[in-house]
Amino acid sequence: MKNRIFKGAGVAIVTPMNEDMSVNYNKLGEMIDFQIENHTDAIIICGTTGESATLNDVEHREVIRFAVERTNKRIPVIAGTGSNDTAYCVELSQEAERLGVDGLLLVTPYYNKTSQRGLVKHYQTVAASVNLPIIMYSVASRTGVNIAPETCLELSNIPNIVAIKEASGNISQVAKIRHLCGDNLDVYSGNDDQIVPILSLGGVGVISVLSNVMPKETHDICQLYFDGKTQESMELQLKLLNLMNALFIDVNPIPVKEAMNLMGMNAGPCRLPLYEMSDGDREKLKKAMQAAGLLK
């Protein structure tokens, strides 16, 4: 078995913004502390939920630096450094390593896309450029590129490719990855509504949007399962299912930032082209939050 970066629930943390759309570092610091105080197992910074696509190069590096310093080794920090340009992915990954992160989250190349052979070469190239453990990120709904189970098997032979964040939504694919790769590749759920199913196939946790608003409960879904309390884990998963779904009623992270703002956490707006949700969707989100005990 390779060295595991974390086990349990890692938060795909938002990047809070001021009204002028600059990064709100004071709030980011508060959010990191809130996560750690509520038993989150890892901080995933500059991922999709962190609006990495609209952070400029200077901001991307500064947000990573800030997260590493604020977390101060209390739990692992994993930086999203994926790109559709392999050379830039290498550059940003090396910078994140210099800044002291504990691991990297690398989404598949997007827009220009690539073949499965290209994926292998892309990940091989980045992995050879750093000493950090790498989590691959498969989310074809955003990138148009799926990491096939057979490709996972080939890439799992690289020592510092240690895991995959599986957000395909395809449980059969997850099962095949586990069958082919065994303990040579950890699997994290990339979908909050599939935490327990993926744990049941030998997954080791989740990289979660829900954790932004319910970090302890998301951690508990995983920990209960690890402790053999599978019924309780399943019941908590199902209890929160409506909220999990409501957090994707619009494009992530629009709903989760709205939820955090409703809770007084001041996550701020999303950067364009992400735009505020409709009144109707906002009411549905509020009702799901009320049912989960987040709002009165």
Alpha-carbon distances, residue 230 vs 41, 234, 237, 239 (angstroms): 19, 6, 10, 14
Whether the pLDDT of residue 85 is over 80: the answer is yes
Dist. CA 158–CA 156, nearest whole Å: 5
| Alpha-carbon separation of residue 119 from 82, 94, 110, 115, 169 (angstroms) | 12, 19, 11, 6, 20
Map out the domains of the chain with their CATH numbers.
8-229 (3.20.20.70)
Flag whether pLDDT at 1 surpasses 80: no
pLDDT tier for residue 15 given thresholds of 50, 70 and 90: very high
275 is catalytic: no
pLDDT, averaged across the chain: 97
Q: Which of 123, 137, 188, 225 is catalytic?
A: 137
pLDDT for position 3: 87
- Is 165 among the residues known to form the active site? yes
- Preceding peptide of 273 cis, ω within 30°: yes
Of these residues, 165, 188, 225, 257, which one is catalytic? 165
- Phi first, then psi: give them for residue 188, nearest 5 degrees: -110, 135
DSSP per-residue string spanning 128-144? HH-SS-EEEEE-HHHHS
Is residue 166 a contact partner of residue 177, using CB atoms and an 8 Å limit? Answer: yes
pTM (two decimals): 0.96
In which element (H, E) is residue 77 found? strand 77-80
**260-274, pLDDT tens digit by residue?**
999 999 999 999 999
* Phi, psi (deg, nearest 5) at residue 47: -95, -165
